[in-house]
Amino acid sequence: MESTEDYVELIDDLIRTQGEARLVDLAERLGVSQPTAGKTVARLQRDGFVTSEPYRSIFLTERGKSLADAARERHDLVYRFLLAIGVSQDTAERDSEGVEHHVSEETLQAFQRIINSSDKA
């Protein structure tokens, strides 16, 4: 599931920045209705990525946390890569979202090389 990563990544982010992850914020940030966000969170819980009790905020399990970490790392790498090749910040934010789920390790490594060489320059 592609959206699994988006959700855990965002939940992690919300916990860091807001102290907790609420459905209403998830829905807003993902541009989705609250019931939709709720349904997805239920799936995440079923699959062991989060824990949540009715009317309470959402927590990541160990499994969810490590998925979130990996996703953020990849996301970040793609984002920095896009900046390095001269894409605007706005576009880099939007496109890195789309791209991060579809690139292999090998391609990520190539991205990293580009970042490195543009750092040196």
Partner DNA sequence: GCCTGAATTTAGCCATGGCTCATCTTATAC
Partner DNA sequence: GTATAAGATGAGCCATGGCTAAATTCAGGC
Give the footprint of a copy of itself on this chain (CB under 8 A).
Answer: 82, 85-88, 91, 94-95, 97-99, 101-104, 106-107, 110-111, 113-114
Euclidean distance between CA atoms 8 and 65, whole angstroms? 7
Other Cβ atoms closer than 10 A to 63: 13
Partner touching 116 among DNA, a copy of itself, none, CB below 5 to 8 Å by kind? none
CB of 63 to DNA, least distance (A): 15
Extract long-range pairs of 106-111: CB within 8 Å, 24+ residues apart: 108/74, 108/77, 108/78, 111/77, 111/78, 111/81
The answer to whether the Cα torsion of 86, 2, 69, 44 is positive or negative is: positive
Q: Which of DNA, a copy of itself, none sits in contact with 4, Cβ below 5 to 8 A by type? A: DNA
* 43: partner contacted, choices DNA, a copy of itself, none (Cβ within 5-8 A by kind): DNA
If one asks whether residue 65 binds DNA (CB under 7 A), the answer comes out as no
Residues contacting 57, CB < 8 A, separation 6+: 20, 21, 22
41 contact choice in DNA, a copy of itself, none (CB below 5 to 8 Å, kind-dependent) = DNA
Binding site for DNA (CB under 7 A): 1-4, 22-24, 30-36, 38-41, 43, 52-57
